[in-house]
Structure 1
Amino acid sequence: MKVEIYSDIACPWCYVGKARFERALAAFPKASGVEVVYRPFQLDPSAPHEPRPHHEVLAAKYGPQARAMDARVTALGADEGITFDFDTVLENNSLLAHRLLRFALDTYGPAVQARLKGRLMAGHFGEGLDIGDRAQLADTAVAAGLDRDAVTAFLAGDDLTEEVLADIDEARQLGISAVPTFVFEGKWAVQGGQETSVFLQALEQVSRESSAAPAAPAAQDADSCADGACAVPPPGESAR
């Protein structure tokens, strides 16, 4: 079984969803036969390629409710054993990090890519990692098991940029408008950071070659990051 997970490093619900899905996979008897591949998606492709304090960025979008939004996600993360420290989070364009994830997939395979994805999210949300900084990305990649020289050389160029942008465009053509979205065997989609039981049920149903109809990703309110998913805004606007 192949599971493709469309997500953005800078999406808090993607981090929650990753933790819940991995817990479901650990409880799935046929987990050894499941291949998990992370696909790129950008909530805000137009985001500046420079680090910006998270609180300033979110306050500019949502005003006084921004702190409450962060508090809710922080509490959810604690329940899942993951850390959100929004005081340290730096917002930046995520394209470079997505290119690195594609490099990891192509060069090392899905398992290493998944490990790097986890390190990037842990660093971004809990350790002040700047996902647009090449040196910091290289350190993170090495911690995930990648070769420093190969990663440094890759990050110095533009390789895989077109491929990643094509993947993101393909996701939009598939109708994906909010992340995380989990696509099972290219037929069934589960959107949002669902409870672990939901992911486990999906794994079991697909394994049984369920006759359930393919589920198209549901639309979300533009410019939102609530109810288990972060949504993409209409053209011309930006997302969290």
Structure 2
Amino acid sequence: MSEKRMVEFVFDVACVNSYLMFTRYSRAVRRFRADGGEVETSLLSYRFQPDIDPGGEPLVETHRRLLGEEEAREVQATTDFGAAEGLRVDFTRVVSTNTFEAHRRIAWAVRQERGEAMTERLFRAYFTDGVNVADPEVLARLAREAGVEPGADGPEEVRRELDRVRGLGFVRESVPAFRFDGERVMAGQRTEDELLAALAG
């Protein structure tokens, strides 16, 4: 096999396509490693709605306000998103909220080599469990479940990292995205096989 691949994944916890791509990429990585490949993944935080209230509101209300009643109903009626990947996404339960503190927990987890476990747990909490991932008590419970201890990264460190990722040129329309070895970028929805091919390439 060739030298270790370095992959950066740009995502937001509140982005359902990020959840889907995280899941497909995780499976592609397992297949890649099973064939003898080596890969190191860096999790790069991005926020779609940095000014949203951490108090949270039902996603259906957010959709009504931003998309209109008819489109909001269509989104809420979607029950099979991610089903083929084994995901259970329930838009009727999602609490739309600020993801800053969720990304802060991921920063803690990364330093403890639990970044991917924390990220998966936060995605599932947001899209399946219907909990507010800005709530300190919820975050403490999710961190414990992912095996993550409180870390030293404070709000300023997280803000600097969020600003750094934006400074790399990633914008709302290009997230989720993968950057391979600091060069090739793959954005939007990709299949598991496409991601595996990019790893092998």
Contact 1:18 1:193 in 2 (8 A): no
User: For the residues of structure 2 that align with 1:201 and 1:65, how far apart are their CA atoms?
Assistant: 36
Name the counterpart of 1:174: 168
Shift of 1:70: 4.6
Name the counterpart of 2:122: 120
Cα offsets for 1:161-213 (capped at 9, x unmatched): 222212221222211113111111111111123111110111011xxxxxxxx
User: For the residues of structure 1 that align with 2:132 and 2:81, how far apart are their CA atoms?
Assistant: 23
DSSP 3-state at the match of 1:69: helix
Name the counterpart of 1:34: 39
Name the counterpart of 1:2: 6
Contact 2:57 2:95 in 1 (8 A): yes
TM score, norm. by length of structure 1: 0.75
Contact 2:176 2:188 in 1 (8 A): yes
- Structure 1: where are the runs of 5+ without partners? 206-240
Name the counterpart of 2:132: 130
Cα offsets for 1:126-174 (capped at 9, x unmatched): 0012111011111111111123xxx2xx5xxx94322221222122221
Alignment partner of 1:160 is 2:154: yes
DSSP 3-state at the match of 1:76: coil
User: For the residues of structure 2 that align with 1:134 and 1:79, how far apart are their CA atoms?
Assistant: 32
Cα offsets for 1:21-76 (capped at 9, x unmatched): 11211221234x2111211100011111211111010111111112323545x423
Contact 2:81 2:89 in 1 (8 A): no
User: For the residues of structure 1 that align with 2:193 and 2:74, how far apart are their CA atoms?
Assistant: 27
Name the counterpart of 1:191: 187
User: For the residues of structure 2 that align with 1:166 and 1:130, how far apart are their CA atoms?
Assistant: 24
Cα offsets for 1:111-135 (capped at 9, x unmatched): x110010000001100012111011
User: For the residues of structure 2 that align with 1:165 and 1:128, how far apart are their CA atoms?
Assistant: 26
User: For the residues of structure 1 that align with 2:76 and 2:186, how far apart are their CA atoms?
Assistant: 24
TM score, norm. by length of structure 2: 0.89
Contact 2:9 2:177 in 1 (8 A): yes
Contact 2:56 2:95 in 1 (8 A): yes
User: For the residues of structure 1 that align with 2:125 and 2:26, how far apart are their CA atoms?
Assistant: 18
Higher deviation after alignment, 93-102 or 58-67? 58-67
Number of aligned residues: 192
4+ aligned runs moved over 2 Å, structure 1: 66-72
Name the counterpart of 1:201: 197
User: For the residues of structure 1 that align with 2:101 and 2:42, how far apart are their CA atoms?
Assistant: 18
Identity score, percent: 31
Contact 1:93 1:132 in 2 (8 A): yes
Name the counterpart of 1:65: 71
| Aligned CA-pair RMSD | 1.6
Name the counterpart of 1:141: 143
**Structure 2 counterparts to residues 69-88 of structure 1, below 5 A:** 69-72=75-78, 74-88=79-93
- Structure 2: where are the runs of 5+ without partners? none
Cα offsets for 1:201-227 (capped at 9, x unmatched): 11011xxxxxxxxxxxxxxxxxxxxxx
